[in-house]
Structure 1
Amino acid sequence: MLRQFELVERVLSYDPQADEGLLNRAYVYTVKAHGAQKRASGDPYFSHPVEVAGILTELKLDMATIITGLLHDTIEDTVATPEEIEEEFGSEIAVLVDGVTKLSQLELQSDRTKQAENFSKLLLAMSNDIRVLLVKLADRLHNMRTLHFIKKPEKRLRIATETMEIYAPLAERIGIQNFRDELEDLAFVELNEEARKSIMRRLEYLREEDEDLVTRIVKDLQSDLAEAGITAEISGREKRPYSIWRKMEQKNVTFEQLSDIIAFRIIVSSVEECYHALGIMHAKYSMVPGRFKDYISTPKRNNYQSIHTTIFGPERQRIEVQIRTRQMHETNEYGVAAHWQYKQQIGAPLNEGQQYRWLRELLEILEEASDPDEFLEHTKLNMYQDQVFCFTPKGDLISLPAGSSPVDFAYAVHTRVGDTCVGAKVNKRMTPLRSVLKNGDQVEILRSKNQTPSPTWESFVVSGKARSAIRRFIRQQQRHQYVELGQSIAEKAFRNFSKPYAEKALAPAIKYWDLDTVEDLYCSLGDGTHTSRQLLEIIFPGEKESQENENVVPITRGKSDRKKTRGAAVPIRGLIPGMAMHFAGCCHPLPGDRIVGIVTTGKGVTIHTIDCDTLEQFAEVPERWLDVAWETESETQHVQVGRINVVMANEPGALSSVTSSIAANNGNITNLVISNRTQEFFEMRVDIEVRDVKHLTNIIAALRADPVISSVERAGG
């Protein structure tokens, strides 16, 4: 454990202006406050905050952060109060200590939802002062160093998992590589001890086989650069076991196939010398194809800069070489801690600039996520994946997770750009929105003010920001449609009782179901949580339905105000699939069919044709049946999918004849499945986009007239 004078000397070594007296007071305060408390290791408890402060001095942080490290557990674990901390050490330190304390209290919850809430609060605290995260990471690092003293295996596993999933990626995102590497490796011990031991044995074998290898290679590289007049600091280091294991898993290779178990770092004085040194390496040694990355011209999202290349080095072994300047090295090792912005502008927002863009994106995701678990899921997407670098038409660099699509790119530019995206040009060529972007692609997003996010986008986007924005839109649209549908159900229910409809009459049901507003009641009816029969039993107990009730519920939808659209019907076909209304995949109802709706709890209404066999399953639950009808067609033509079963001759050109007949009648095939094949015939199921039943009937008639067609029928339920 660091002694008092050693801690003070460390701070003064890089910050001679530090208040030595305040540091001494804080050290003594934490020792007295924690008193005789013990840790799981048996050490005095105050050794933990002292070690946390020591870790923070390695990052050369300001005095307020060091003192926060000393005091971070006093409010939670002793009788100290925030008011007392403020009186003794000032408001700045009191705010930091209080922020770390609140996060620590949340961490006591092992439930996943609580973990997600903890993480979201951590990000909010970071957005005000990044030093809260720095103290939290130092606290977690020391706890991981002493994790083996905890007796309960399940507790060790929970802490290690949380470290691997949340704190190590956060350390990487703010650029503190040493923290990330050590956190991952310490968690690896608990999560996969056997794999770690296996890698350690192999590393030990390599060291014993040629213990002077690193020294010789460093000497040769130093000589190569010196001949060209470049003075460089060169070092070689083994990668940590978890880093090695992760590469083996990602690339599906063996330990022996890895080329960068030992990485050599060349530190020079300027950017020009970086590229000069790279030229010398590639001129003298063969480069391994596909193993070159220039993070100087295109930095990572955490502002990491370096040139990475793999060469067949002096000993004819494949080695990785990293070339950077001293300033880059400081930033790469200490990340945000290398920037003294928070010391020079206390209280200034720290999420400005490229290196904080990821934090802004996480805060946007926090605003859009419906619950903490969803937020945690999106955040992991945002933090874990490798990057691909693309450019806007103006040349601005956009970094995205690997596997990103143009939709991810659009949302990375701005949420509004993503919401209104209708198409994309990649390298000046029209490209499907689901295509995967590659490094160096230039992407131009085509927009329309009438466009809205498509629910199908969620199936191929990979960035957390894009996925959360799409889900947010879907939630809003679903509620809007549930409300419209629920209002129609309520109005129909009143008509069935020959009662005048008024929203005031719904008050008893709102109270009975413990809802807040009439809109909540409509939503509960629309999504199937409650039925119209239950509504009537509450409002008109004991009364029976009118014999002269209307048998059709007009399904309304639209952007206009609900009161204005009351009683006005909108075509069912205009509804967005997957929202409040669904068209059954068993019978594929089309405009012109007689239809019926089945209300499913939490999913809204599914539309079936009146003769669909599936309806037999709901014979015993009449309260789930809803009479619906197609409304008068508007000027805008909408298409829906109809399904036909085709039996055709097995002969050359037969399939071409079928598709040509469908196309000639303005049908668009969306799916075609061959269900059976014999020597004489093919049996196929074909899904076709059509306007209505009449349109599909015309297509069927045209197919029946074709001599290669044996039979064609519309698919039933």
Structure 2
Amino acid sequence: ETLDIYAPIANRLGIDWMKKELEDLAFYYLDPFAYQEIINAIAKKSEEQEEYISKVKQIISEKLAERGLSARVLGRVKHVYSIYRKMLAQNIDIDHIYDIIAFRVILKDVANCYEALSIIHSMWEPIPGRYKDYIGKPKPNMYQSLHTSVIGPFGERMEIQIRTEKMDRIANEGIAAHWAYKEGRKVDEGETERFSWIRQLLEVHQEIKNPKDFIRSVKFKLFPDEVYVFTPDGEVKAFPKGSTPIDFAYSIHSEVGHHCVGARINGKMVPLKYKLQTGDVVEIITSSKQRPSSDWLNIARTSKAKSRIRHWFKAQETERSISLGREILEKEFRKRSLNFSHFINSDILHEVAVGFSLKSVKDLLANVGYGKISPGQVVGKLCHLTAPEEKVEKPEEVEPEPDVRKKLPGGVKVKGVSDILVRLARCCSPLPGEPIVGYITKGHGITVHRAKCPNILKGSKDRIIDVEWDETGDGVYPVGVDLICSNSKGMLATISAALSNLDINIHEARINARPDEKSLCRFVLEVRNYGQLQKALSVLRNTAGIFQVWRRGFSAGSA
């Protein structure tokens, strides 16, 4: 409990002395034999260590003084639990741990810190990959320091931390020292966000009264597993466990993410779905021809990467709609013998856009492309705003014709061409592999229904058109599936595992317990086609604890 919860909390608060003390005390009780073995090994060399620390401190102090730098140099043996962790990580015993002493150089200001680093590196050879700049990029707990490892004066590995007095105080006292500096001043939004986890901790404590459940919840919410990887320049980046090169690419810049084609991990090429491991050195490979794929949303792990990917798709959809809207309006203007080029570059079309409560002509074109505004409506408003010498003949009120244009890959073909105005009906959620028809709506393009959808059978026959699935598509489609199952522990996990094995994602889930110790589960699944849905229904019907399964809108036992 202490090692899993309280010591990490002290670390997140930046209270270094408390973290070390908690770890050593917990270690003493958890493994007293190993604890005593390390204590004895340290005690055997105590005089030798003190002499070594004294000599190195003197060398560093004198060298810095020669360059006009006043510094406080400290040396210490690392705390017991950190030595034990190093033994486990490197699979060696205490006699083979050579860098159990660390030095700290404390100076006046940041400029002095970097100057001291340069002097130390000129004295002793730095060990590659061991330099970390936490001044330029502080840790989340506000810790700041320069870390380096060098080959010391006697050929030994030696760790050195370089920081200012203020940084040293915050490193030891944590948030308390930081707020002391901030007292009487407004705390910025970034700092409020940085310490939001404290509020989460209090909320968890108030909500959960069972101590075991509390500890389990804190470990899950506040200390999720992370991986730490390096850029080619040695910068450390932290990501949630399961992150991929796509997450890494978007952490650098959106453009790097958009054009990412692969990654070189530790010098070897890997696919984008590769799971990052702690210690990996990651180099992103880009191409100007690369564009994000919808699959990336399933591969990416971080919210930042997913947000950037979704934003890119939204921007692309808007651009396509603007282009389509322009084509539709141009065609309508030609039909009315109007000069489209004249109006598109005039203020009058902007007034038309404002008349539709839009901000710009681009917004107007996009809405025409989306099918939200018909070209006839645009011309109608134009005739009211045009000066007498530019009088436009008002068109007859006719129902807008469906304009057929290219849509996203994997959509529906209308007369052999994909259509950006096509959308799938929510009432029957048609899937590739099922017979379908199109229904022309007023100003909203074409809605695709299952051929036997009750709503399409009630509609006007004149508006029904032939459509077909684009067989080149590889997207996923939402479909409602309901089932009745036993209200037992682990049932939802069983259902989730069964669907996961079929590569089916649960987009939405609602569970309602019933008085008869059964539950009604209402899911929205993402499937590729009708065949995959049938397979899912079959698997669920043969799963123990599930009594009935049906596709929403159909009777139980049918789909």
Tell me the TM-score normalized by structure 2.
0.48
More helix by share: 1
Higher percent of residues as strand? 2
Q: TM-score, normalised by structure 1?
A: 0.39
